[in-house]
Amino acid sequence: MLTGWDYLVIGVYLVFMMGIGFLWSRINKNSSDYFRGGGNVLWWINGMSSLAAGMTAYSFTAAGAKVFETGFLLFIIYLVQAIPMLLVYFYFSGRFRQMRVVTICDAIRRRFGKPTEQFWVWTALPLGLFNGGVMIYIVSLFVSAAIGLPIIPTIVILTTVVTVLAVAGGCWAILAGDFIQMMIVTVVSVTILIRSVLLPEVGGFSGFMSKIPDCYTNFSLFERPAVWISLLTMFAVVNTLRAIDLNSVGAKFLKVKDGSHARKATLVMIIGMALTPLIAFTPVMVCKAIGLNLAEMFPNLSNANEGAYVAIAHHVLPQGMVGLMVCAIFATTLASLDVALNNNAGFFVKNFYNDIINPNASEKTLVTLGRLITAAFGVLIAGAAVLIATFRDVDLFSMLLKFNVLLQFPMIIPTIWGMIYRRTPGWTAWSTVLVSMSVAWVSQYCITAEQVAAFMGIALPLNALEAKDLVFVGGGIITLVVGTAWFFFTTLFYKATTTEFRSSVDNFFKDMATPIDHVAENSVNQDAIQYRNMGILCNIYGGAICAGFLIPNLLNNRMLFIYCGGAFVLLGLFLLSIHRRMQKKSRDRY
């Protein structure tokens, strides 16, 4: 399906991504730099990185398959996730940064104490590695389908690229890579969107709406209203929880300069989340409307619908540009591996090795160990992805729903309430996780869709889609309700805590409410180098994309490379101009 030119584009991209790590390697002076960018990351880099982390290959594969079946239902679910980000903007983003910690486990220690910190390290580590395996498997599934390479070698190649980037440059390289990759996703996916809607057989937006199946807009044709409304409501709750969860979105704000930059980064995320379903899902629905034969195109996929986005991209893009599309989808998943590699390495190095094994370790030792552990975690993630590829027996969408209920929800509950409500003992967090996980496993394997339907007053029988969605809704509600009830139940034991513990928690909440003072806290100003390095990267990669004009295509198809590469070059020149002004201002001052 791909030409030699496409493989060349993919090869250039992979080499470029590994090179990013070496460009940023010199900026890592200590463990804070390596694991959270020294807490000095500019808002526009952080915002694009956070957006990339939420827009993984899942959006184009598993979610794309769901859209192929149900149309605008998931479109609406994705739009809804932008709403709770307003809570983050007005209340949480600044407070997350003002915790003044390097890792989220540091925040857990300050809020719940050292024993809970260690519980979190050894619970979050395997979950993070498994989640990294899931993400690399998803993107490898996509890339494998697109280029025709067996999935196991694809997993090895992609994990190697991600690991080299993370090992060499740490958090700085990951964030820079996220920014570049989000730019790739934007220019390529917008191109696919426009070209797919303007296909002669589609006839623009009005023609598109007339050709899609009725069930795409009338959800009751595939699920009864009580089911899809409950599913929509459940996703709204889940999106709200994730938006204010320290483990996911919250961790991103540990890296920005201050509360003001955190809020600006949040605005970038809100705008991006609102546009994501438009650019990711509309082409999938066009694929359905024009009747592409996915089973014939992807005979090796267990669920051919997961290749819908690849199919429509092949249909509308010229040679070379298809390779750039593959790069774009891979790009979206690299950001999610931040948690699996860099953040998890930070847990081990800062919250176990430095806290327990060697409290007097030098910063050079911590950075070196961080590189070694990141490399080791890359191997473990690849192994997890291979195991998933070997033993997977459910569709991706269902697999990720189970992962949410069984593993992520229990970790979310105590971190959310713990950052809002302070009158609980130190054992609240780990006990809430254990109770929630137990309930989640019971709900998934002992509670049936028919029981949930009976509780909700939904008549039987259920179709396969309704049964699957009701299991998720029922399990999610039970886990969240029981976990929250247990968290607040532990309030009864708050008075038994020590004065020292309560004073520590009070200081933690006081810090969260206190803005960052860069002068008093001796913050290092690294603004100029961020503008310079990002400008250089944009110009280099933009020039490489523009060179695609030389690939044998029709003139209008060649111009696509100028449009995509030109966007990078213009942005790069703009960033470098800001860097020069900053340098001139600094010289004039002295």
pLDDT digits (tens, 9 = 90+) for 112-158: 999 999 999 998 888 888 888 887 887 787 677 667 778 888 888 88
Tell me: do 77 and 217 sit in the same domain: yes
Digit-coded pLDDT (tens) for 41-78: 999 999 988 887 767 667 777 788 889 888 898 888 88
What are the residues whose beta carbons fall under 8 Å from the beta carbon of 219, sequence distance 6 or more? 70, 71, 72, 73, 225, 228
Digit-coded pLDDT (tens) for 517-550: 887 887 778 899 999 999 999 999 999 999 999 9
Mean of the per-residue pLDDT values for the chain?
Answer: 86
Q: Are 315 and 326 in contact (CB under 8 A)?
A: no
Tell me: do 391 and 532 sit in the same domain: no
Domain boundary among 487, 504, 521: 521
Length of the chain: 590
Higher pLDDT, 397 or 350: 350
Q: Using CA atoms, how far apart are residues 205 and 228, in angstroms rounded to an integer?
A: 26
Which pLDDT score is estimated for 432? 95
Is 70 exceeded by the pLDDT of residue 338?
A: no
Tell me: do 178 and 190 sit in the same domain: yes
User: What are the two backbone dihedrals, phi and then psi, of residue 511, each rounded to the nearest 5 degrees?
Assistant: -60, -40
Tell me: do 360 and 212 sit in the same domain: yes
Answer whether residue 451 is part of any domain. no
Residue with tokens 């024993």: 115
Range of the domain at 563: 525-590
Tell me the average pLDDT across 89-113: 93
Is 90 exceeded by the pLDDT of residue 396?
A: no
Answer whether residue 426 is part of any domain. no
Tell me the average pLDDT across 17-39: 83
Which pLDDT score is estimated for 132? 82
Domain boundary among 521, 537, 564: 521
Tell me the average pLDDT across 496-521: 92
What is the total count of domains within the chain? 2
Show the 3-state SS of 444-465. HHHCCHHHHHHHHCCCCCCCHH
Residue 401 pLDDT grade (very low, low, confident, very high; cuts 50, 70, 90): low
What proportion of the chain, given as a percentage, has pLDDT over 90?
36
The string of DSSP letters for 226-285 reads HHHHHHHHHHHHHHHHHHT-IIIIIHHTTSBSSHHHHHHHHHHHHHHHHHHHHHHHHHHH
Digit-coded pLDDT (tens) for 227-249: 888 877 877 787 777 778 887 77
Q: Are 322 and 309 in contact (CB under 8 A)?
A: no
Digit-coded pLDDT (tens) for 188-230: 889 999 999 999 999 888 888 888 888 898 888 877 888 888 8
Q: Using CA atoms, how far apart are residues 292 and 516, in angstroms rounded to an integer?
A: 54
Which pLDDT score is estimated for 590? 52
Q: Which of 240, 246, 241, 239 is nearest to 112 (CA)?
A: 246
Is 90 exceeded by the pLDDT of residue 337?
A: no
What proportion of the chain, given as a percentage, has pLDDT over 70?
93
Which pLDDT score is estimated for 182? 86
Residue 392 pLDDT grade (very low, low, confident, very high; cuts 50, 70, 90): low
The string of DSSP letters for 311-358 reads HHHHHHPPTTHHHHHHHHHHHHHHTTHHIIIIIHHHHHIIIIIIIII-
Answer whether residue 420 is part of any domain. no
End-to-end CA distance of the chain: 59
Residue 343 pLDDT grade (very low, low, confident, very high; cuts 50, 70, 90): confident
Q: Are 536 and 544 in contact (CB under 8 A)?
A: no
What are the residues whose beta carbons fall under 8 Å from the beta carbon of 115, sequence distance 6 or more? 426, 427, 430
Answer whether residue 469 is part of any domain. no
Digit-coded pLDDT (tens) for 443-489: 877 888 888 888 888 888 888 778 877 877 887 888 889 999 999 99
Question: Among 127-136, 351-360, 565-574, whose mean pLDDT is lowest?
Answer: 127-136
Is the peptide bond prior to 359 cis by the omega test (within 30 degrees of 0)? no
Which pLDDT score is estimated for 492? 96
Q: Which of 342, 369, 379, 349 is nearest to 24 (CA)?
A: 342
Q: Using CA atoms, how far apart are residues 146 and 61, in angstroms rounded to an integer?
A: 12
Q: Using CA atoms, how far apart are residues 223 and 238, in angstroms rounded to an integer?
A: 21
What are the residues whose beta carbons fall under 8 Å from the beta carbon of 533, sequence distance 6 or more? 23, 24, 176
Answer whether residue 232 is part of any domain. yes
Tell me: do 310 and 380 sit in the same domain: yes
Answer whether residue 194 is part of any domain. yes
Tell me: do 125 and 160 sit in the same domain: yes
Which pLDDT score is estimated for 400? 61
Which pLDDT score is estimated for 404? 61
Q: Are 252 and 53 in contact (CB under 8 A)?
A: yes
Q: Which of 239, 252, 264 is nearest to 84 (CA)?
A: 239
Tell me: do 500 and 589 sit in the same domain: no
User: Which domain CATH number covers 383?
Assistant: 1.20.1730.10
Is 80 exceeded by the pLDDT of residue 257?
A: yes
Answer whether residue 14 is part of any domain. yes
Answer whether residue 589 is part of any domain. yes
Tell me: do 561 and 586 sit in the same domain: yes
Q: Is 427 helix (H, G, I), strand (E, B) or coil?
A: coil
Tell me: do 530 and 517 sit in the same domain: no
Tell me: do 501 and 578 sit in the same domain: no
Tell me: do 235 and 285 sit in the same domain: yes
What is the pTM for the complete model shown? 0.85
Domain boundary among 521, 536, 555: 521
Which pLDDT score is estimated for 533? 92
Q: Using CA atoms, how far apart are residues 453 and 470, in angstroms rounded to an integer?
A: 7
Is 60 exceeded by the pLDDT of residue 397?
A: no
Tell me: do 530 and 393 sit in the same domain: no
